[in-house]
Amino acid sequence: MERSDGAGEGELETPQRGYTDATEQFAAMNEVLLALGRSASDPDSALDTIVDSARRLCRSDAAHVYLINGDRFVLSSWVGVPDEVVAYIAAHPFRLDRASLVGRVATDRQMQQIDDVLADAEYGRQDAQKVGHYRTVISAPMLLDDEVVGVISLWRTEVAPFDAHARTALEAFATQAAVVVRQVHLVRALEDRSVELARKVDQLEALSEVGEAVSSSLVLDEVLTTIIMNAVRFAGCDGGSIMEYVEHERAFTVRSAYASDRLLERLRGIKVDLDTTLVGRAARERHPIAVADLDDVELDIHLRLLHEDGWRSMVAVPVLRGDRIVGALVVRRRTPGDFSADTMDFLENFASQSALAVWNAQLFRELETKSAELEIASRHKSEFLASMSHELRTPLNAVIGFSEVLLERMFGELNDRQDEYLRDILGSGRHLLQLLNDILDLSKVEAGRMELEPSTFSLRSALEYGASMVRERAARHGIRLSVDVEADLDTVESDELRVKQVLVNLLSNAVKFTPDGGSVTVTARGSEHEIAVAVADTGIGIAPADRERIFESFQQGRRGLQSEEGTGLGLTLCRRIVAILGGTMRLESEVGVGSTFGFTIPRRVPIAMPEADDEAGRPMIVLVEDDRASLDLTSAYLDGLGVDVVIARDGDEGLSAIRRHVPAAVLLDIRLPRTDGWEVLRRVRADDATAAVPVIVVSIVDERARGLAMGASAYLVKPVRRDALVGALRDVGALAGAVAASPGAEEAP
């Protein structure tokens, strides 16, 4: 039977019909090309365009594309197919066999046509024909890299075979559909990769949060809370806990939990044994162990508590550092079910990355304990030295005094041997007194109790004083002693007594270790901010191996005989005193040529402002910080600056304190509970009452440009040195005598 439109094989083609067919084919191909150009963003639309164009160009009643999925076909795109037929094909799909034309085409890998499915003895899908009422069917394989990925098919509800033009067009449409399918595969692969990348980014963010927790706080419980919170969140679980391994007990103790406040107290009351629990087994075997349903396993002491609290599935992940067990990570769900391999890999990697955080926090805790013990020991040592030194002074005073009285012949003449012995006693007594004085000074320095008494004095006079103290001994040994002070170097502001103490020590050493006939030269040079003093001698020099050791207590290096006079504390004290004065010491030496000991100190020693009698006259600083260690450190920096400090531990509390006090300055962290530092800064600048208050950001978050743009007066990135913090406060006018800097200034160097 032929169609009335002349689509059958027997129709005679006319020039007009050929022109019309070519025009339609060109228009259809143009539509398809445009659709292919958009296929990257909408591949399904491109496939629909191909199907619609194939139907129109080939003059069929319906067109549809099937994609291969296993051993069956899935109807992917269609036009002209009634809804009930679509539903029937979905419920009764064509299979990859010869019962249907699409199955034959996919198997034979070539285009085929059935002129009348009712007359084809091999056609086995009469059920579908009865629903769709199609008679003539033509299908072409969609080949992609020589693989059949689908079939494009047309049908007519009358017996009207498709002509050569239709077959050629359908073959082209099959090729284009294969391109779209490739595009679909690429888009889906890209989407899968995007999802995977987003998941990896989330995981990196979780690890980054752990890293930031370690950088900003070494308090173990804070670090552990951050770890378990991120592990639970990115593993898609409902709760979890993290345990610390106690090696001498061979057991784990629960330190922190997430979404398990009620359970946490019960978990903290048990010991999770290494040898008898699932957590211990995971640590011994060094890999995660998952339980899909706690109802199906034998419950140890830890699992029993979880089960009683309503938890149904869990994963135990060991936290390892090398061969050492550091702890364990446990994530839990309220529902039973397996954990994916991806989740297990993430948890294992997360535990591995978290091991360093836990290890560092443990070391920090041990360090805090040891530091506290050392502080106590140091205090006891200082108290003992002070007590013993004072106790020894009384008898020592008698030894020195009576020796001097006897040597003055107040009670009669002495023979030569008696005179010699008394002079030895007097010299030894004075040496012991100097040793006691040095020990007391050193103990004060170590205990932080050496207080400076600053004044303005002539450096030249101080140098001359030091030279006068050793001039007699230098003259006895023929040692030339000279003082060279820069002409315009006049006064300095420092502790005159301590500067002289350092000078006398250095000059005494120089004369002591310079052979007869040598020379000792004192030079002083200055700049706008500091002075440099050097004591050079032509003595025996110091070997490289001894240049650091001579600054240790009771050491003289190998510069002289063990019986050489001296306490062995002079250089130790000199370096400590110079450090307290805000300077540094240096040493240059060459064996057999001589040595130069020098020190550099500020022309003005940083001096804490005296406390005002009226507290209302003291500058007020609001410190907004939630980390305990940072609070302690910043408070120590501010101690002695003559300021009152108000502490706020979150953003809301900080805003309230700033509005209440309108302080001289605000020290603001960014990572804060409740309201973060950025919002605090914005609100301070937006409020007319506080807009002029200088805000110095002190945070581990390194976003200086953003902070200055929002109106921060200075931006300091942790860790922050004391001089940088004090400099920033001076720059913004928060300390007495400072000139305020405009908002947006950089921090002090």
For the segment 212-248, what is each residue's pLDDT rounded down to a tens digit? 655 555 566 677 777 788 888 878 899 999 888 988 8
pLDDT at residue number 228: 83
The one-letter amino acid at 490: D
Residues 56-93: pLDDT tens digits? 888 899 999 999 888 899 998 899 999 999 999 999 99
Residues 352-383: pLDDT tens digits? 877 776 777 667 767 777 777 777 776 776 67
pTM, entire model: 0.36
Task: Please compute the mean of the pLDDT values over residues 84-111 and round it to a whole number.
Answer: 92
Strands 239-246 and 62-69: unpaired
Long-range contacts of 559-565 (CB under 8 A, 24+ apart): 559/513, 560/512, 560/513, 564/512, 565/431, 565/512
The band of 333, judged by pLDDT with boundaries at 50, 70 and 90, is very high
Would you state the structure tokens that stand for residue 281, as one six-digit string?
A: 């087994």
- What are the φ/ψ torsions at residue 254 (nearest 5 degrees)? -75, 125
Task: Please compute the mean of the pLDDT values over residues 172-201 and round it to a whole number.
Answer: 74
The band of 563, judged by pLDDT with boundaries at 50, 70 and 90, is very low
pLDDT at residue number 212: 63
Delineate the domains of the chain, giving CATH numbers in brackets.
19-188 (3.30.450.40), 217-450 (3.30.450.40), 453-557+567-602 (3.30.565.10), 620-732 (3.40.50.2300)
pLDDT at residue number 138: 95
pLDDT at residue number 611: 39
pLDDT at residue number 244: 86
The residues that bridge with 620 in the sheet, in sequence order, are: 644
- What is each CA distance from 446 to 443, 471, 506, 552, 679, in whole angstroms? 5, 32, 21, 13, 43
Question: How many Cβ atoms are within 10 Å of 707's Cβ, its own excluded?
Answer: 26
User: Which residues, in sequence order, are CB contacts of 136 under 8 Å at separation 6+?
Assistant: 113, 114, 115, 116, 117, 155, 156, 158, 159, 160, 161, 162
Residue 486 has pLDDT above 60, yes or no: yes
Average pLDDT of the residues of the chain? 80
The band of 20, judged by pLDDT with boundaries at 50, 70 and 90, is low
The band of 311, judged by pLDDT with boundaries at 50, 70 and 90, is very high
Instruction: With CA atoms as reference, report the closest residue to 573 among 450, 473, 433, 674.
Output: 450
Cα–Cα distance measured from residue 166 to residue 154, given in angstroms and rounded to the nearest whole number: 10
